[in-house]
Amino acid sequence: MFGQVLTAMVTPFTEAGDMNYPVAEKLALHLVEHGTDTLVLCGTTGESPTLTREEEYELFQVIRKAVGDKAKIIGGTGSNSTREAIEATQQAAKLGLDGSLLVVPYYNKPPQEGLYEHFQQIAAVVPGFPLMLYNIPSRTGQNLQAETVARLAEIDNIVAIKEASGNLEQVGQIRRLTSSDFSIYCGDDALTLPYLSIGAAGIVSVASHFVGELLQKMVSAFLSGQPQVATEIHLQLLPLFKSLFATTNPIPVKTALHLQGWQVGSTRMPLPQGSDQLKQLLQTTLMDLALL
């Protein structure tokens, strides 16, 4: 439904820290023209914790208008409040997005039954609107277990999961327990190839800001029975994957975009600007891949 390479897009800011919608338009179009099937807005990489809902809704509309039918758009509408997540997801549907990304509720650590009911209640109020679960226990403090994912996958409009637990056994269990029309997307660039080997459909990527076309080639090669080609690309890109997570995301990706000349602004506090050491690491990595 969403393709093979989904880009978790950064949110550009002005020097004053306000939303920079013109740069967001240009970046979105650039990504779509260089290998991105679907843009994922206002997720972790998009700095959702420091965005207001009003800023998010405006960004959804700006990018929807700019991109048109050239790519699909998913909006991050998750929350640790079920009521808030419902309202945000309803708004995303009204604004004509192609789906919502729903992160596991953070901080309050609901048990598995609470997680099931949370997502089930959101799905019930937007019938026919595609939803992607987002499991990232390192940030949320709670893991969405494979058995719970399998129960949720039986709901018609819960169609995919972004799995960022890094647990290959769990990913395999999700694949075993769900039907083939439920899509699993890797949430960590460096694990894309292993995830593909156990049934993932593609990647929700940070690195695709720079190498979207190569990622498309890697995924396509693996899925078409050319694992050696896919492995060669994976190994070529491994230093980039590592550098882009040298510190808290999205500090490195915004720093690297700045090095390329993109005026995406700094990360909002409490995330600081990239250090000189990080800039040097990223400059070397980008130059080695002929990206500068």
57 as an active site residue: the answer is no
Active site residue: 57, 134, 185, 195, which one?
134
Q: Which residues of 264-285 are buried (b: 16+ CB within 10 A; e: fewer)?
A: bbbbeeebeebeeebbebbbeb
Whether 175 and 198 have beta carbons less than 8 Å apart is answered as yes
8 A C-beta contact, residue 125 and residue 90: yes
Q: What does the angle CA 195 – CA 43 – CA 193 come to, to the nearest 5 degrees?
A: 15
Per the residue annotation, which of 57, 72, 162, 195 is the catalytic one?
162
Q: Of 182, 177, 243, give the one whose Cα is nearest residue 209.
A: 243
Q: Which two tokens stand for residue 225?
A: 């029975």
Q: How far apart are CA 27 and CA 20, in angstroms?
A: 11
Cβ(79)–Cβ(45) below 8 Å:
no
195 as an active site residue: the answer is no
Using DSSP bridges, classify how beta strands 131-135 and 99-103 pair: parallel, antiparallel or unpaired: parallel
Query: Three-class SS of residue 8?
Result: strand
Beta partners for residue 132, in sequence order: 101, 160
CA atoms within 13 A on the CB side of 168: 9
Find out whether 189 and 209 touch, Cβ atoms under 8 Å: no
> Phi-psi category of 24—alpha, beta or left, where left has phi over 0 and alpha has psi -120 to 50?
alpha
Residues marked active site are found at 134, 162
